[in-house]
Chain A
Amino acid sequence: MKYADVVIVGGGPAGLAAAVRLYDMGIRDILILEREHSLGGILRQCIHDGFGLTRFGVSLSGPEYASRFIGEVEKRQIPYITDTTVIEITRDKLVTAAGEAGLLQVQAKAVILTMGCRERTRGALAIPGTRPAGVMTAGVAQAYINLQNRMIGKEVVILGSGDIGMIMARRLTLEGAHVIAVFEVMPVASGLPRNIEQCLNDYGIPLYLSHTVTDIKGTDRLESVTISQVDDHMQPIPGTEKEYACDTLILSVGLIPENELTLGAGASLDDHTKGALVDEFYQSDIPGIFAAGNVLHVHDLVDFVSMEAEALAEGAAAYVREGSLPECLVSVTAGDNVGHALPQKVSGERDFLLSLRPRRPMQDVRLKVSQGENIILERKMKKVLPAEMIQLKIRKEKLSREGSITVSISQ
């Protein structure tokens, strides 16, 4: 058995940023556990640029962005172990991981969960049809093309307008495949506007909103997909079916925080974010277990992942030093037109960063944060999109320790 002040589960952008900040705050007994052969997480396969504009003021590729943080970890000689998969975390913060060297057990004072997310699958959507080769998620296609030099198809249909799907539409086009179109079941794109411009419009790839795949054909390799238009309830409209011959169907239909270890430890999850319920210190409902980044809620920009993990480090450092954190009893709830709000609990005594996602695209709106009768913050916004997370700094001066906080958006 080993001991550590802090064990960080996952060496992607969130884990790395938390480690560096913790170190700089004087917490030195840190161990990062990473299941892949090298640090960097999903950024390793994101060779496109656009990372770091907020955090560093320059546009970097995924590996470049990751290498900045890996460099900081190396410089500080923060210990990390790769090729090692955490298989269990207990309520008492005993972390068990499997690696070639054996079964590693570390008793931590605090555990930081930065496992990221996984992609929603064909099975999760119950897409009907046969089960041929050639149907895969955008992330799998990206890993094959960018990490393994394996080409995955020639005639491609993309379901879902998630960012990775659009980025893969461009990538596949550049590598000689023909991308027929991107189909999105919702009436709005789920990815960032900049990706619609740079990945689809610039390459003449059509985006069809309110459309979905209603059948898959082919016994060996994919032969065609049937696309239908959907109504306001996202139900396919009979008579609108159109069959597209293709050998590849790429799914970019959503990301789900990867919280099996979190559940195993006994922490509660939020039904909307699918991540842990956390307080303003990013602490779950198990004292000393923290979470940040895509394992907590899915972000659209890695810059915000890093910053969230850095903010988490403050709370985690205080927890390691003092053995507990102030109670957070004020709940934060998502009101009208807000999909989710985070953190779910605050103390009412400290500044905190409020993250939220609008439920639908709206223009000329008023975003309101209130506590009972008391309006904490009100902001006019020209345009809000579900694809773009909104973050607001909430000042302690306006807060009280009584009554729940509601975040809402209205026209």
Chain B
Amino acid sequence: MRLCVESGVPGFDDLGYSDLGCGIPENTVTLIYGPPKTGKSIFSHQFAYHGLLNGESCLCILTDYGINELKQNMMGFGWFLETQIQNDMFYVIDAISRLTGDVFPDSNTYKLTSLNDPADMMVKVGIGTRFVLKRSDDFRSVFDSLTTSLAFNPDKLVIRFYRAYMHRLKEARGTAIVNYTEGVASDVVENAIKSVSDNIIRLDGEYLTIERMGGLKNIKAPYRITDKGVTVEKE
């Protein structure tokens, strides 16, 4: 059994060996947080796409943008999802499109839910984990992001949902990245989100800091966003 999964982010896996090897520890949930527009979503897309290229299915929860925007954003980096969608490897739970009116009908791999209905979101996560596990024994998950959920639900409920999502993902032995925009919630809520997460990475626009991951702590490196996505550089 492998202990880490490759992140798919150039330079990231070389940042240091944790107790578990290099990359992102398998079967954990990694919180990526930082100010807006610092590459959190791009990092998570890279992570998902790299898994897909290696035959790992992906369960993706979208709360900030719909499936079309996701496809367009990823296409900008040369990451094409169509084949993976056709092969039922990419499972999307879309919590935003009902609100924006950009609605597609449900399919095998596309489920609509509502931002203010965490119970229903959790039902879709349950169905989704079962689906992706049938497609591949190793799978990844991306939740982009917790930020919008906080705007539509009581803080406590979002944390309850986050814990339930983590439990479901880890039971199914998936590896997940969850994004959160720094400063949106109160310090208390932000600390609660961090304390629940297994690993924490901060992106500030210039530096990527692994605050906690496996045995690693406070490892800092500069990064850039290039046409290959987030690229971590050597100091």
Q: Do A and B form a real pair? A: no
Q: Show the binding face of A for B, using Cβ within 8 Å.
A: none
